[in-house]
Structure 1
């Protein structure tokens, strides 16, 4: 049996903390008890009648949706000659409430995480968590319990851009994470960027079947990535658009956010492909299936040491996302 050195074993949790956020925070968040405002804006026409379609965010005020997202990932690392495999499987169920669609086209979204299920294993150890299992004692509870029944409120433009107050959003994130934002491994950007990325697929202009457009974004999930996403409208059927998605990611030697005294630069790149559907009337993504891989290496310096250690990494992941409209609060019980 391979016995890892103390330095080697101290590296693993630092790196895993960042990668855990890649899937979890992308799912969204929570809902408040805010009363929905009365509709004050006319939603724009999505079918322009000439074979072109306008993709933009314009959901109906007071509508509610159940969102289920699942992520499965396998990560392999080689640390000081020792191979480490990590598996993770997470399912997040949430209720998305459209609190308002304003006269100037701003969508206010409030979500509630109703349930988190997670399991994973590494180095001969396994852990599982289910927020609905009241009697379950899980080592993951301290991380996930604070995320249940908290509030995150997003204000988004028709193009999906966040137009709310960043400081307020960071305060909501701090509440959602139960103070984890004070940990040097977890920054506000690591939690906010993946959440907002869900709404950054809208084209600037009307599109026809066969058209493609590109979105260039920066995303920090503990490792800052430059992300280039290409979307292609493949079909429109009964108000539902189907898009093919290709994503390229590259960290290009960006610094990783680790614990105190630890430094690392990541040289990781990879691609993901998938298919998504969008309800053209509301502009909401209804389904998404995606798979891909990221690989490369990181140059790591442990706290109190000067020696640089190279860590090889490879991550394979699959994601599914499903949205179902529910008519009222009672329907989500």
Structure 2
């Protein structure tokens, strides 16, 4: 992927190969591989991957900051379901050219979407928290470890569904030429 100076994602590459690899690991039946890849390509389109990656990399402040300063980034995603993140970053420390950021935010998913032919509605809330390390010279996220929790209700086919998800978003980055 190509990242812009403010952390936006300009381009992504290798999605087709990634989908081929995922589908091939699920089955050896070539007709099923094609069906799986087709289903995955809707969930992992170029635009969805760009949005997802941008939510992890568009974290930079619009002004110079010093230790203890905080700034907020609001990101809206439309993956399979709509998600808005409002995340506060605080510069904790700078050591050996690496900035350490504390991350604390909220997640909201309220809206409708369609998946596998079913209309779904979400009313979910959650949090993300953790720490991110950034190389000051290059701006590259070297390491990010965030805990994500999302919970609430979903509706599908007239049924209320209790929803709870916990996960870890881990990024390890390095500069390649």
Q: TM-score, normalised by structure 1?
A: 0.44
Q: Which structure would you say has the larger RCO, counting Cα contacts within 8 Å and 6 or more residues apart?
A: 1
- State the match for 1:255 in structure 2: 112
Q: Tell me, what secondary structure is at the counterpart of 1:176? A: helix
Structure 1 residues 185, 257: closer, same or farther in 2, change over 3 A? farther
- State the match for 1:211 in structure 2: 69
Question: Higher Cα Rg: structure 1 or 2?
Answer: 1
Structure 1 residues 312, 204: closer, same or farther in 2, change over 3 A? same
Structure 1 residues 298, 185: closer, same or farther in 2, change over 3 A? farther
Question: Which of the pair is proportionally richer in strand?
Answer: 2
Task: After TM superposition, list the pairs within 5 Å mapping 1:107-186 onto structure 2.
Answer: 154-164=1-11, 169=12, 172-178=14-20, 182-183=38-39, 186=43
Structure 1 residues 231, 194: closer, same or farther in 2, change over 3 A? same
Question: Which of the pair is proportionally richer in helix?
Answer: 2
- State the match for 1:224 in structure 2: 82
| Aligned match for 1:288, one of 112, 131, 144 | 144
| CA deviation after TM superposition for structure 1 residue 315, in Å | 1.0
Structure 1 residues 319, 186: closer, same or farther in 2, change over 3 A? closer
For 2:139 and 2:44, how far apart are their aligned partners in 1? Answer: 30
Q: Is the 8 A contact 2:140 2:174 kept in 1?
A: no
Alpha-carbon deviations, 1:216-249, whole Å to 9, x = none? 1112231110111110001111211110001211
| CA deviation after TM superposition for structure 1 residue 257, in Å | 3.2
Q: Is the 8 A contact 1:185 1:258 kept in 2?
A: no
Q: Is the 8 A contact 1:270 1:295 kept in 2?
A: yes
- State the match for 2:23 in structure 1: none
Q: TM-score, normalised by structure 2?
A: 0.78
Q: Is the 8 A contact 1:186 1:257 kept in 2?
A: no
| CA deviation after TM superposition for structure 1 residue 318, in Å | 2.8
Structure 1 residues 160, 324: closer, same or farther in 2, change over 3 A? closer
- State the match for 1:234 in structure 2: 92
| CA deviation after TM superposition for structure 1 residue 292, in Å | 3.2
| Aligned match for 1:321, one of 165, 171, 174 | 171
For 1:181 and 1:257, how far apart are their aligned partners in 2? Answer: 18
CA root-mean-square deviation: 2.5
| CA deviation after TM superposition for structure 1 residue 197, in Å | 2.1
| CA deviation after TM superposition for structure 1 residue 174, in Å | 4.0
